[in-house]
Structure 1
């Protein structure tokens, strides 16, 4: 066990480096790569966020079976989906989970927001002395983290419910249901998707806050080459700094990103 504990940090570091290399080779809207130092930092913190989310979900997978009222499930499972037990509705339980997830991701989110602001300093030549300890960064990071935690926690509850319903439909026993719950929660692909999405959201928030602080008047959407039908319709669209972009699906956003794994960008105009 002690040997495994000593090897684990090295394995995580190696995995992080591989993740950074893969992400760097993927397609991004070119503005992200304009300043190599901030792009490298963005990739590093995205990898850290993915690692933190994956670790949290792995822990939740072990805890989740304790949130089920197993007395409602005969063995083998034969009840109908309509009478299936749901994830524990005790708010205290899920408030605790939300707190644990917040602790897991807030550092990476804070660093990503700061990186977006620092990109703004380099790109527009206005030095605000932004660090991860700046008050505006801490406020923005707290808000971004709260939104992420709320969404992920609600999705976790839905996934547990759906796993139970799947087990009921398949006539699985309690052990089979537990295995299904663990599999659906401890999902590395989901951790990757969350990290890729939220890293761009947090970075975009940092850049947007920089622009508003420094007096930008308008903002222009820059779609990724071959952008999807959500983003492509607004490529090159310019709106006032305090107004949202209206995407192809009608959703309103103040800055990129706008959908899972989105990598469109925006630039800000001071004239």
Structure 2
């Protein structure tokens, strides 16, 4: 089986698994948008996983190995500085990997808003509000993921030094900590809801919605459960400080807009 086929099969399996999980019912209200959400989330997870796998191979090149045998000092980190060109290239590569999926997830959220409200304004992946929102979310996502990658690499180096590992052992530790499928899954599950809900919110604002109601998932966490049914003005934040889900990693809560 070639790689393309393997990736397609994995995407289909991921979509089936996600479809069987608990979602706040509003996500399932329109099967076509729910199916699109699952597809785009699977694509995002695959894109992030592929990027992290590639970074795991590149990351050892970003370490000044002459500093590793010595105690790591705050003023003399062996890891290349975050403003070095190589990290700018990493940010560009990650942006390129996720922008399409985030754009389509934002589009899907806005289209779900059309179906829920019965107000059709012809939302597409080329709509200005979609493009701007997707670009802003990707910029934030890329910044956070890149900084976390740097922290993970630094911590891997410190762990190797503490264990007395040689360069080969340190390289393997770096690769293992960076190439983490569970982290890729968490990023995709969280950012897919962020993008979908951003699209839904922007549509509601554009079409004149007045208030919004938080709808918690059945069996929601202690952070989200108290919010169920809370109503605020559309421009206000809920009592948890969020203006829409996701309120935390892997959040599957929803928001309903009133006109």
Structures share a fold, TM > 0.5? yes
The residue number in structure 2 matching 1:183 is 176
The residue number in structure 1 matching 2:17 is 22
Given the alignment, which residue of 237, 250, 253 partners 1:261? 250
Structure 2 gaps, min length 5 = none
Separation (CA, whole Å) in 2 of partners of 1:82 and 1:72: 10
Matches within 5 A, 1:65-76: 65-74=60-69
RMSD: 1.2
User: Are the structure 2 counterparts of residues 90 and 109 from structure 1 closer, same or farther at C-alpha, using a change threshold of 3 Å?
Assistant: closer
The residue number in structure 1 matching 2:58 is 63
Q: Is the 8 A contact 1:256 1:266 kept in 2?
A: yes
- Cα deviation for residue 81 of structure 1 reads 4.4
Matched, 1:97 2:90: yes
Matches within 5 A, 1:96-115: 96-115=89-108
Separation (CA, whole Å) in 2 of partners of 1:151 and 1:120: 28
> TM-score with structure 2 length normalisation?
0.97
Given the alignment, which residue of 132, 139, 142 partners 1:146? 139
SS in 2 for 1:72: coil
Q: Paired residues, what number?
A: 257
Separation (CA, whole Å) in 1 of partners of 2:238 and 2:103: 24
SS in 1 for 2:66: helix
Separation (CA, whole Å) in 2 of partners of 1:230 and 1:96: 37
Matches within 5 A, 1:1-271: 7-74=2-69, 79-82=70-73, 85-89=77-81, 91=83, 92-247=85-240, 252-270=241-259
Separation (CA, whole Å) in 2 of partners of 1:138 and 1:22: 29
- Cα deviation for residue 155 of structure 1 reads 0.4
SS in 2 for 1:220: strand
> TM-score with structure 1 length normalisation?
0.92
User: Are the structure 2 counterparts of residues 165 and 205 from structure 1 closer, same or farther at C-alpha, using a change threshold of 3 Å?
Assistant: same
Q: Is the 8 A contact 1:113 1:204 kept in 2?
A: yes
Q: Is the 8 A contact 1:85 1:164 kept in 2?
A: no
- Cα deviation for residue 90 of structure 1 reads 5.1
Please say which of residues 155-164 and 226-235 is displaced more in the overlay. Answer: 226-235
Structure 1 gaps, min length 5 = none
Q: Is the 8 A contact 1:220 1:236 kept in 2?
A: yes
Separation (CA, whole Å) in 2 of partners of 1:133 and 1:236: 33
1:124-177 alpha-carbon deviations (Å, 9 max, x no partner): 000010111111110110011111111101100000011011101111000000
